[in-house]
């Protein structure tokens, strides 16, 4: 858990935020999700639809005509990079390419001018809400559970995962180095570097592998940034024994010290300065890729999501307590890429994600947070249609597969629009987790290019199409615009 000093700094940060909010009401929304879940696309689509008056029939304030205007504003955290919204929109709209994954923390502020639904509130003042959207790499989320773990616990879990059947071949070079270690021998920097490089290479290979593995801490080993080469990022798990005291000059002692330094230098500042200051949270989940990869990937995703979920600070603080302590009172768990399935399977996709996080979500609800599950596509890349096959109607999706994608031996060129029968998800999520054969999982999963946008009469591109982005907005923001 964060130390007393960490909690004190969190309290001071929140007190400063609350003081500012007295004059400028603010809602801080965290956008979380593991790699490839679509965080960048979600934020871009949310901002674009709010700025351009998108089709959001279930977002009540906009549907009722109570939003007078939305504009981009200067963000409050001057040391945090701005989310490059304009660049991402250009890629999506003009080049029909998906933006690159998040590689560093970023932030963007929207100011929403609105008319309250309450006549009494309208008499007091015009409504205005600053929505601060905080984006950070999914890999960094993997580090938050480390706050509560010592080096022996981290090592035991990491080595157990490396020996799993779906990982052992990838981890073999690293495990071979570990097997020949004398943990009590004097530390040697060359050996330390070799162990770190082998462990980091194993993590990188897991992320790149089509098995869609998700539990890959430490996150900065995948995305080191300006800390690359520092001692805090030069360690690896070792088969240390709980409670055993190793010589101070040993490799075990060296890596224990560096692991604790990693938590102090990397993990705790991220938690304190960003994660602990959130009001609302959306957790994006790419369940389809894990389903496509098989039960081992789904079980790995379940482990990662449960650990991440437990790092949230859910609940409702008292009025006085809220001045110094932020609590996340609403959490949305969103299954992304719903446009890769026909709408007939969306409820089943939601059920699968609900199964993956059910225990952690129940604990969050017990703490007082409201939790909701939703299947969405922040940018809808396909449309639905139906075709006849031997007298039977098949629901299909129509879109342009990305160049290089294949189905049944057919390779797509990235230019031709194609109708694809995506298949059906099983009604019982437990069957997927138990291990259905590939031929029974029934999903034709390919990636699609962003859609070609419709244009208005004056040539301007209309808002980005979506699936249930309006429901997400209503859940995350709607009550603050009432």
Residues 361 and 309 sit within 8 Å (Cβ to Cβ): yes
Residue 380 confidence (pLDDT):
96
Q: Which of 219, 237, 263 is the last residue of a domain?
A: 263
pLDDT tens-digit profile of 58-115? 999 999 999 999 999 999 888 899 999 999 999 998 899 999 887 788 999 999 999 9
d(CA 85, CA 1): 35
Nearest Cα to 283, choosing from 355, 326, 329, 332?
Answer: 332
The count of structural domains within the chain is: 3
DSSP state of 144: G
Residues 411 and 375 occupy one common structural domain = no
Q: Is residue 446, in this structure, part of any structural domain at all?
A: no
Helix (H) or strand (E) holding 332: strand 330-335
Q: Is residue 230, in this structure, part of any structural domain at all?
A: yes
Residues 375 and 400 occupy one common structural domain = no
d(CA 331, CA 145): 18
Residues 153 and 118 occupy one common structural domain = no
Can the peptide bond before residue 156 be classed as cis, meaning omega within 30 degrees of 0? no
Name the pLDDT band for 317 (thresholds 50, 70, 90). Answer: very low
Which domain range does residue 168 map to? 146-263
pLDDT tens-digit profile of 386-433? 888 777 888 899 999 999 998 878 899 999 999 998 888 888 888 787
Residues 288 and 37 sit within 8 Å (Cβ to Cβ): no
Q: Is residue 288, in this structure, part of any structural domain at all?
A: yes
Residues 21 and 81 occupy one common structural domain = yes
For residue 229, with 0-12 CB atoms within 10 Å meaning exposed, 13-18 middle and 19 or more buried, which class applies? exposed
pTM: 0.87
Q: Which of 236, 263, 290 is the last residue of a domain?
A: 263
Residues 131 and 49 occupy one common structural domain = yes
pLDDT tens-digit profile of 320-373? 334 345 678 999 999 999 999 999 899 999 999 999 888 888 878 877 889 999
Residues 373 and 423 occupy one common structural domain = no
Residues 163 and 243 occupy one common structural domain = yes
Nearest Cα to 445, choosing from 375, 338, 350, 340?
Answer: 340
For residue 452, with 0-12 CB atoms within 10 Å meaning exposed, 13-18 middle and 19 or more buried, which class applies? exposed
- Residue ranges in 310-345 assigned as alpha helix (H): none
d(CA 477, CA 480): 6
**Distances from the Cα of 11 to the Cα of 2, 62, 243, 278, 331, angstroms:** 12, 35, 34, 13, 22
pLDDT tens-digit profile of 25-44? 999 999 988 878 899 999 99
Torsion 179-181-182-183 (CA) sign: negative
Residue 438 confidence (pLDDT):
54
Residues 278 and 389 occupy one common structural domain = no
Task: Note the maximum CA span of the chain.
Answer: 76
CATH number at residue 311: 3.40.50.300
Q: Is residue 448, in this structure, part of any structural domain at all?
A: no
Q: Is residue 451, in this structure, part of any structural domain at all?
A: no
Name the pLDDT band for 448 (thresholds 50, 70, 90). Answer: very high
């Amino acid at each position: 858990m964060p130390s007393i000093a960490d909690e004190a700094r969190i309290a001071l940060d929140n007190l400063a935020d609350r003081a500012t909010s007295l004059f400028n009401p603010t809602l801080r929304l965290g956008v979380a999700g593991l790699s490839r879940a679509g965080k960048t696309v979600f934020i871009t689509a949310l901002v674009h639809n709010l700025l351009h008056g998108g089709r959001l029939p279930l977002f009540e304030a906009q549907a009722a005509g109570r939003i007078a205007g939305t504009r981009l504003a200067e963000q409050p955290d001057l040391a945090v990079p701005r989310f490059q919204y304009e660049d991402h929109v250009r890629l999506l709209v003009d080049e029909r390419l998906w933006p690159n994954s998040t590689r560093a923390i970023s932030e963007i502020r929207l100011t929403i001018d609105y008319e309250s639904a309450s006549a009494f509130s309208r008499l007091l003042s015009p409504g205005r809400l600053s929505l601060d959207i905080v984006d950070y790499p999914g890999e960094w989320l993997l580090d938050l559970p480390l706050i509560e773990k010592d080096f022996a616990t981290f090592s035991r879990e990491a080595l157990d995962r490396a020996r799993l059947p779906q990982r052992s071949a990838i981890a073999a070079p690293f495990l071979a180095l570990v097997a020949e270690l004398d943990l009590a021998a004097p530390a040697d920097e060359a050996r330390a570097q070799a162990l770190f490089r082998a462990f980091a290479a194993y993590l990188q290979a897991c992320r790149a592998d089509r098995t869609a593995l998700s539990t890959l801490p430490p996150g900065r080993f995948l995305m080191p940034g300006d800390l690359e080469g520092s001692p805090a990022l030069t360690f690896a798990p070792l088969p240390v024994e709980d409670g055993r005291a190793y010589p101070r000059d040993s490799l075990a002692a060296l890596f224990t010290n560096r692991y604790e330094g990693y938590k102090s230098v990397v993990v705790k500042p991220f938690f304190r300065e960003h994660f602990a200051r959130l009001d609302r949270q959306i957790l994006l989940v790419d369940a389809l890729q894990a389903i496509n990869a098989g039960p081992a990937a789904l079980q790995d995703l379940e482990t990662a999501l449960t650990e991440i979920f437990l790092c949230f600070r859910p609940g409702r603080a008292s009025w006085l307590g809220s001045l110094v302590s932020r609590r996340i009172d609403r959490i949305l768990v969103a299954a992304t890429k719903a446009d890769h399935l026909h709408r007939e399977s969306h409820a089943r996709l939601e059920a699968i994600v609900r199964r993956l996080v059910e225990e952690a979500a129940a604990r969050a609800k017990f703490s007082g947070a409201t939790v909701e599950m939703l299947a969405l596509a922040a940018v809808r890349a396909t449309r639905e249609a139906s075709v006849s096959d031997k007298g039977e109607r098949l629901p299909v999706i129509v879109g342009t597969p990305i160049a290089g994608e294949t189905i049944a031996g057919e390779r797509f060129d990235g230019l031709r629009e194609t109708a694809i029968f995506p298949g059906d998800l099983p009604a019982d999520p437990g069957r997927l987790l138990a291990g259905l054969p590939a031929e029974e999982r029934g999903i034709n999963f390919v990636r699609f290019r962003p859609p070609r946008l419709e244009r208005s009469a004056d040539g301007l591109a209309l808002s980005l199409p979506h699936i249930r982005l309006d429901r997400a907005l209503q859940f995350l923001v709607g009550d603050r615009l009432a």
